[in-house]
Amino acid sequence: MNMDKKIYKKLLEVPEGKVTTYGELAKAVGFTNGQRAVGKFMNQNPFPVIIPCHRVVKSDGKIGGYAYGEEIKTNMLKNEGIKIKDGKILDWEKTVFRF
């Protein structure tokens, strides 16, 4: 299986209302120091409605980039019940999903 498909498949495990980080997702598929590559794959996600790449954020709790803009990513996360203030996720430990 290609690395991008492994990453997208693993991302499907992150439930609505939770987020994971680029680094956590990389580690979960055995991709050492692959957070930048994960970001690239998220940016090229061919099925953003099905594969929830908006649930992948930076390890410091900041939203990070999104192919359709940070405002849309923020709104999508808020619609799932995630609390965000000034571009950063509140209640980090309760919100982060670890594989």
pLDDT tens readout for residues 19-67: 999 999 999 999 988 999 999 999 999 998 899 999 999 999 999 999 8
Q: What is the mean pLDDT of residues 55-84?
A: 95
Of the candidates 11, 19, 25, 53, the residue annotated as catalytic is 53
| Residue 73, pLDDT score | 96
Q: Residue 55 catalytic? A: no
Secondary structure (DSSP) of the chain:
--HHHHHHHHHTTSPTT-BEEHHHHHHHTT-TT-HHHHHHHHHT-S-TTTS-GGGEE-TTSB----TT-HHHHHHHHHHTT--EETTEESSHHHHB---
Which domains are assigned to the chain? 3-95 (1.10.10.10)
pLDDT band at 90 (very low <50, low <70, confident <90, very high): very high
Look up the pTM and report it: 0.94
